[in-house]
Amino acid sequence: MKSFNALKNHLKIFVVVNFATGIIMILSSLIGHYLTPYKLIPSSIIGGTVGLLSGVYLCFRLNYIDKRDFFPVLLSSLIYFGAISFEAVFNLNNPTLILGGFSLIGLITMISNNYFVNHHYISANKIYGILGLVFAFPALYFVVASILKFQFGHAFLFGFVEELLRRTNGQENFNAITPFLFGGGLMLAFWLNVFTQIENIRTINNFNYKSIILKVKTLNLIVVILTSSTGLAILSYLAVENF
């Protein structure tokens, strides 16, 4: 009986997240097409992100997702959404891949929820540190690949980027997706791991004195340093290119 209830819960998560993400993403795409024809990528990604957030939050409100698992499940789902969005914008001529990929979002949410429910012994610091590294990876890869190619003449990592740019509308699609993938990923990873190192506000004695204690954790500090330095490198590059 317990396993049957768990299965029902998983299926509800799958349906709610897929439905919310799909509906809001489609509506946002239609609005984006009306306002800015031929520039559907930003509106689709924004709509999909809002839909995913709404779906996961609704699952939390309906008690399909436990409170302590909400953020890890949400972040895991966002990672998949970012990956499939990146794949989709460079394969716009393959609707089967796009529809198939986005239809698995609910499944990823379901799997990640099941994982975190059964792994409560993993500390939040470790979870957010690892997820932060995943969020930061695309921007970090681009920066390292660019430095190796343009400063040292080694293009083995940058070859992947060049292959994407050679595709139909490759440069335009790259410019449309990277602000979300690079900027959004770095910001999420940075602030997530900053707040992870801040202890809960503590009330001391009868005077209701409150203090915030910063407790440095190695993995989270590494993520903060990596994301901030990568972000500065990208901002410096943009400043040089545009001014």
Q: What percent of the chain has pLDDT over 70?
A: 90
pLDDT of residue 210: 59
Predicted confidence band of residue 208 (pLDDT cuts 50, 70, 90)? low
Interatomic CA distance for residues 236 and 229, integer angstroms: 10
Q: What percent of the chain has pLDDT over 90?
A: 67
pLDDT digits (tens, 9 = 90+) for 170-204: 899 999 999 999 999 999 999 999 988 876 555 55
Amino acid letter for position 132:
G
pTM over 0.75: yes
Interatomic CA distance for residues 186 and 231, integer angstroms: 7
Predicted confidence band of residue 135 (pLDDT cuts 50, 70, 90)? very high
pLDDT at 134 over 80: yes
Cα 170 to Cα 88, 176, 190, distances in angstroms: 12, 10, 29
pLDDT of residue 79: 97
pLDDT digits (tens, 9 = 90+) for 90-121: 998 898 999 999 999 999 999 999 999 999 99
184-220 b/e with 16+ CB inside 10 Å = b? bbbebbbebbbebbeeeeeeeeeeeeeeeeeeebebb
pLDDT of residue 236: 86
pLDDT digits (tens, 9 = 90+) for 209-221: 556 666 778 899 9
Region 136-162: what's the mean pLDDT?
A: 91
pLDDT of residue 37: 67
Interatomic CA distance for residues 141 and 199, integer angstroms: 31
- Cα angle value 158/164/170 (rounded, 5°): 130
Instruction: Give 146's contacts (C-beta < 8 A, 6+ positions apart).
Output: 158, 237
pLDDT of residue 206: 55
pLDDT of residue 40: 82
Ordered alpha helix ranges (H), the chain: 2-35, 40-61, 70-89, 95-102, 105-117, 124-152, 158-165, 170-178, 185-196, 218-242
